[in-house]
Structure 1
């Protein structure tokens, strides 16, 4: 017999290989009380069963506070995803650059290395790339995605409205992340097209932005 246990959490954060965070969570916020359906498909047969998630009967928490927690935690989770997806994008482009530079002329290698370096500069602001083990964050400062994921951990803790400082801190981190993703977009917009033109001239596939 197989068993699946749901922890009542919604979709968690996007991750990437080797990601190490400190004092953070990768879980999404717990779902709100209400009616849901579970669907199981096996051997081409699908069964659906309704169920209800109830509030804890001994905790006097208002629906409004639960909704506020859900909304804020979901926004934080989405920004963690945005940060992590930026790292994933950077690493994909850098991997493609390294592939295209094999046997490439010096001029193309130089342009590719400059682009990879510019991308790495953004990556290092979004994620602490020096982390290789769970203890490394003790030695190297956490970066934007870790700070967001740590804030998510605070926001989803317990049931009810998070403390009043969570949202202002989140707004500061949103601005910080936007500055970093804007730099990423500008780097790609400014440097990738001319590099792709070089690749085309030497009969190599261009890199997707």
Structure 2
């Protein structure tokens, strides 16, 4: 959790990758830190949990390449909560700035806030794609029992086209790598590019990165607002035809 108690990520014993070590030493650390995936030991006695100081990546869309946007946690106070057999313990810890870093805490806070804004916008875009997928699934399930109703079929096709257009604006939709490479850069991959810039640079985002983000975010907001409005109208008509 962050310093305010907001959840960053939760793992159950079944969900978290586990490793067992015969002794408590440095073995395993290199792999864990390289992959950035938290691991834990769950043997009797002394155990360890390794957090790569990252937020979990944004949601994925089935059948599409994963979107890797997983910001580093900015320096500050965090909390870890452990629950075993119904008993809970919570402790605070601090993620510190590298003592050799030339940037100030204020500047790293500024970068962290901007990074999390980008993270949230990417998740919003992906959730809109998933919403479109749900609408298409509902249409398909309904038409499976009503395929003889041509008016309903036509309305379903209209909804599918609207949803496909939304997904195609947000992320690559090609079925092969060549097709994906040849597509114009979509909105969510543009945010991925900005994420990569933030990950490999030091200090707060420069004005160029901020300008690109504002342009992409504005286009995403406009696209999502238009889609949500049209989908609401078309689904209402679809429901009325089912009626």
TM bucket (normalised to shorter chain) is 0.7 to 0.9
- Please state how far the C-alpha of 1:55 moved relative to its aligned partner: 0.9
Question: Residue 34 of structure 1: which of 64, 76, 89 is its match?
Answer: 76
SS in 1 for 2:79: strand
Map Cα deviations across residues 35-70 of structure 1 (whole Å, 9 max, x no partner).
Answer: 222111122222222222111011111112101111
Cα distance in 2 for residues equivalent to 1:13 and 1:182? 21
- 2:233 is the counterpart of 1:186: no
Cα distance in 2 for residues equivalent to 1:50 and 1:181? 39
Cα distance in 1 for residues equivalent to 2:64 and 2:107? 32
Report how many aligned residue pairs link the two structures. Answer: 196
Map Cα deviations across residues 1-54 of structure 1 (whole Å, 9 max, x no partner).
Answer: 434321112343222223316xx7321x22222222211112222222222211
Residue pairs, 1:50-129, within 5 angstroms: 50-104=92-146, 105-129=149-173
- Please state how far the C-alpha of 1:182 moved relative to its aligned partner: 1.9
Aligned to 2:88: 46
Cα distance in 2 for residues equivalent to 1:131 and 1:177? 23
Extract structure 1 runs of 4+ deviating beyond 4 A.
Answer: none
Q: Which has the higher contact order (CA 8 A, sep 6+)?
A: 1
In 1, are the aligned partners of 2:162 and 2:231 still within 8 Å (CA)?
no
Aligned to 2:59: 14
Between stretches 175-184 and 75-84, larger displacement belongs to 175-184
In 2, are the aligned partners of 1:69 and 1:156 still within 8 Å (CA)?
no
In 1, are the aligned partners of 2:173 and 2:180 still within 8 Å (CA)?
no
Cα distance in 2 for residues equivalent to 1:30 and 1:101? 45
Aligned to 1:166: 209
CA 1:148–1:79 in 2, change beyond 3 Å: closer, same or farther?
same
- Please state how far the C-alpha of 1:110 moved relative to its aligned partner: 1.3
In 2, are the aligned partners of 1:25 and 1:153 still within 8 Å (CA)?
no
Unpaired runs of at least 5, structure 2: 1-40, 43-47
RMSD: 1.9
